[in-house]
Amino acid sequence: MTPHSLSDRIASLPKAELHLHLEGSVQPATVCALTARHGVVMTEEEVRQRYAYRDFSEFIEAFKWVTSFLRDPQDYALIARDLAEHLLAQRVIYAEVTLSIGVMLLRKQRPEANFEALLSATEPFESCGLRFRWIFDAARQFGADAAMEVVESAKRCNSKAIVAFGIGGDELSVPTGEFRPIYDRAVQIGLHKLMHAGEVGGPEKIREVEICPGSNMKTAALARQLRREDARIEDHPLPKLLRHGIPIVLSTDDPAMFHTTLQQEYANAARMGLQEHELARIVEMGFEHSFLPAEERHGA
């Protein structure tokens, strides 16, 4: 469904989604299927209540709760199929999806087995024109040794579809400098480097800005940055950044958990006052700033 403030032209453009967490993309109906696999019967309404929060820490609690049901490779296959169907409905033809490998390792799972299940679940969608690339993510608060394990598991998976290594989690826990050898190792095995840090990423991402307006609202990041509790989506600085020539990529972050979709994020940008040609330019930038090889960095 096209959000009402979005023109058909923008809605129908094929899009890239570059900042998206698999574990934050599980729609309520799929959460029910997932918990049922492990003997817990829930209604969609109950899941929606879990998906309602006022700030970042409540969101993290909900994220932990959902991931506690991701226990075997088939669970990952289930949510990956769900995500693929959701993305196709959003006209997404290319997605870089972040996987919380740090959490898998913490739970003593084998990331290789989970990743293999993800690949087999998503490969059939390539024939529908949807391509996936994967980002292996460590949790900062688990420390440098655990992060190195994430990089090594990417090496063991040995797949060209894994394009980057990133660090997410609690920004204030471990100093970034401690992860230098881990990033060095990631580069050595051919991965790009990413980092969750406020709105702007690390060295590789400093030239562009991934913006997730719905996420900025739901985690209260926008209100905090603007020092205004009543901050509305129209107050978002996105138009200012774009008009200063800063490359912008629109993304959803955790679409199911933030009750958003990529089309909705474009509609949000339209509500901020962006013109149709500016929205079309943002769609193009989604491909230009992807980890695709240079010759493939254009839309369909």
Half-sphere exposure of 68 (CA within 13 A, CB side): 8
Q: Which is nearer to Zn ion, 162 or 211 (CB)?
A: 211
Between residues 91 and 196, which has the closer beta carbon with respect to Zn ion?
196
In whole angstroms, the minimum distance from the beta carbon of 21 to Zn ion comes to: 6
Quote the least distance from Cβ 195 to Zn ion, whole Å. 10
Question: C-beta of 37: minimal distance to Zn ion in Å?
Answer: 26
Phi-psi region of 279 (alpha: psi -120 to 50; beta: other; left: phi over 0): alpha
Alpha-carbon distances of 179 from 77, 134, 157, 200, 202, rounded to whole Å: 30, 20, 21, 18, 12
- Give the span between the Cα atoms of 51 and 144, in whole angstroms: 31
195 contacts 202 by C-beta, under 8 angstroms: yes
**Residues within window 42-81 making contact with Zn ion, judged by CB under 5 A:** none
Q: What angle do CA 76, 80, 82 make, to 5 degrees?
A: 120
**With respect to Zn ion, which residue has the nearer C-beta, 25 or 35?**
25
- Tokens (6 digits) for 127: 């024939």
- Interface region with Zn ion, contact rule CB under 5 A, candidates 106-114, 138-146, 252-260, 261-269: 252-260
137 forms part of the interface with Zn ion (CB under 5 A): no
The residue at minimum Cβ distance from Zn ion is 253
Interacting span for Zn ion (CB under 5 A) from 76-84, 152-160, 248-256, 271-279: 248-256
Among 75, 253, 265, 278, binds Zn ion (CB under 5 A): 253
Count of CB atoms situated within 10 Å of the CB of 172: 8
Q: Which stretch binds Zn ion (CB under 5 A): 41-49, 119-127, 250-258, 277-285?
A: 250-258
Window of 145-153, 180-188, 203-211, 249-257 that interacts with Zn ion by CB under 5 A: 249-257
Q: How far apart are CA 36 and CA 214, in angstroms?
A: 29
- Please report whether residue 265 would count as binding Zn ion according to CB under 5 A: no
Provide the binding-site residues for Zn ion, judged by CB under 5 A: 253
